[in-house]
Amino acid sequence: MTWVLVAVLAVPAVGAVFRSRAVAAGAAAIAFLLSVALATGRSDGGLTGPIRPWHQLDVSWVPGLNLRFHLGVDGISYPLVVLTTLLTLLCCVYLLWTDGDGTLAALLLVIEVGIVGVFLALDLVLFFVFFEIVLLPMYAVIAGWGGAGRRPAARKFVLYTLFGSVLLLVGVFVVVSRAGTADLVVLSAQHMLPADTQLAAFILLSIAFAVKSPLWPLHTWLPDAHTEAPTVGSVILAGVLLKMGTYGLLRVAVGVLPDGARRVAPVLGVLAVTAILVGGLVCLAQTELKRLIAYSSVGHMGFVLLGIATLTATGFEAALIGNVAHGIITGLLFFLAGAIKDRTHTGDLSELGGLRETAPYLSGILGYAAIASLGLPGLAGFWGEAFAVIAALRRGGPLWTVLAVLAALGGALAAAYFLRLLYRVTHGAARPAVVGIGEPVPGELVAWAPLVVLALAVGLVPALVLGVAQTAVQVMAP
């Protein structure tokens, strides 16, 4: 199966060369099927550490620097890999059907290579390399195909995340030079760094990942980037790019530096809950459709980070399913916001209104996505948020109890702002902007339907995500 690990990276990389929508869709489809196939033949290979890849590939890469090309997949990375290949496939299909640009599709494939690489890398330096591969194509996607304010937004995105990357680089080299190895499997199993080094490295790495996730107060690149990016760019940004941050925090920062994590966790928890509340409140006062969804991501990722910050198996599982659910639901929301903005040429909530009068099906799907995103039990968003709260309560003590209560209140806030969104966009009399707009076309439906189905399926059967992850999470929880 090791060839699949390479193929899942190579196929999109080769597909990108052709700069054609059809080739891109084909390559994305193959990559998706390959990534799904990674779940076959699972075994822990006799490993006993916290990372027990089902399949791995470990070859020397730059012998002089002792760098290795080490890839592997386990229960924590697998759901995110599949989510990435799925969302890329849906975006490529969407571009194919809606007369998108071939170069844009090719850039999506390059981004896919980077993100999947991040999830598969088991070598810290390789992880860093993949982490950086994503940056420039995403810059190009925003700057080339975005909205009116695309250039400043793209610049802010690239500079802000580069700032994070510098810290990541420093953190990576602190760890690698002190430990003498960059192998994540070894690093997470042996914890050979002294406590103070761990603390320093953890702070560096967690700031870097906090920029990507994003964690309040390092989030302000996100609303601009999401708002100005083209539809497929927003979907990939919110759907999977942010997950590189939370995945890195869990796998690298917490996995390699557990002592550092224990000392910083309360700070992370406080910031995560602040993100939940600030994100919710800003959404309640927000007047632009895509900005609102972008800020809701800040809140949702706050729940994921809270789950990680609890450092419990419950919290890790909540974070994992929260990641996947957010990818599915917010991906769908950005598809819908894009569809609405393309049709009405405005995202201003005061100009929208009465969508259910003129486009009942579009309005119905938007309602479904909003309800899923506010964390309704029975849909995918519920598990991550509810169990992040439960994990915080499980930690006990005054701090974590207060954090749990505030996070739960943030859940109620999500209901308020999403229903306000629906109230402004779908209800009431039809405003001029929505009169005469069309219902979803087949290409859109094909791209949305899998996300609609998955939001319900993961909601009803969370084991779809957590079933494969359980062992991996439980062996890594300190």
Binding of another protein at residue 453 (CB under 8 A)? no
Q: How far is the CB of 395 from another protein (least distance, A)?
A: 10
Neighbour tally for 177: CB within 10 Å: 9
Return the residue of 4, 199, 200, 386 that touches another protein, per CB under 8 A. Answer: 386
Closest to another protein by CB, 22 vs 159, is 159
Indicate whether 79 belongs to the interface with another protein (CB under 8 A).
Answer: no
Q: Which of 206, 234, 314, 373 binds another protein (CB under 8 A)?
A: 314
CB-based contacts of 210: which residues, under 8 Å, 6+ apart? 164, 218, 245, 249, 271, 305
Return the number of the residue (129 or 277) whose C-beta is nearest another protein: 277
Pick the closer one to another protein by CB: 19 or 427.
Answer: 427
Query: Which tokens go with 93?
Result: 């299909």
Helical segments of 180-239, H only: 184-190, 195-212, 221-228, 231-236
d(CA 86, CA 454): 11
**DSSP secondary structure, 376-419, as one string:** -TTSTHHHHHHHHHHHHHHH-HHHHHHHHHHHHHHHHHHHHHHH
Which one of 15, 411, 440, 450 is in contact with another protein (CB under 8 A)? 411
| Distance in angstroms (rounded) separating the CA atoms of residues 404 and 410 | 10
Q: Which of 278, 336, 349, 476 binds another protein (CB under 8 A)?
A: 278
Give the Cα separation of 338 and 341 in Å (integer): 5
End-to-end Cα spacing for the chain: 30
Exposure on the CB side of residue 430, measured as CA atoms within 13 A: 14
Kindly tell me which of 44 and 342 has the beta carbon lying closer to another protein. Answer: 44
* Closer CB to another protein, 130 or 160, in the complex: 160
By the rule CB under 8 A, 419 interacts with another protein: yes
Stretch that binds another protein, among 30-38, 126-134, 217-225, 258-266 (CB under 8 A): 217-225
Q: Which stretch binds another protein (CB under 8 A): 17-25, 47-55, 74-82, 462-470?
A: 462-470
Write down the least CB distance from residue 215 to another protein, Å: 12
# binding residues, another protein (CB under 8 A): 59
Going from the C-alpha of 50 to that of each of 71, 247, 471, the distances in angstroms are 16, 15, 10
Residue 371 interacts with another protein (CB under 8 A)? yes
409 scored as a contact of another protein (CB under 8 A): yes
- Residue 59's φ and ψ, nearest 5 degrees, are -125, 155
Residues found near another protein in the complex (CB under 8 A): 156, 159-160, 216-217, 219-221, 278, 281-282, 284-286, 312-314, 316-318, 356-357, 360, 364, 367, 371, 376-378, 382-383, 386-387, 389-390, 393-394, 404-405, 408-409, 411-412, 415-416, 419-420, 423, 427-428, 461-463, 466-467, 470, 473-474, 477
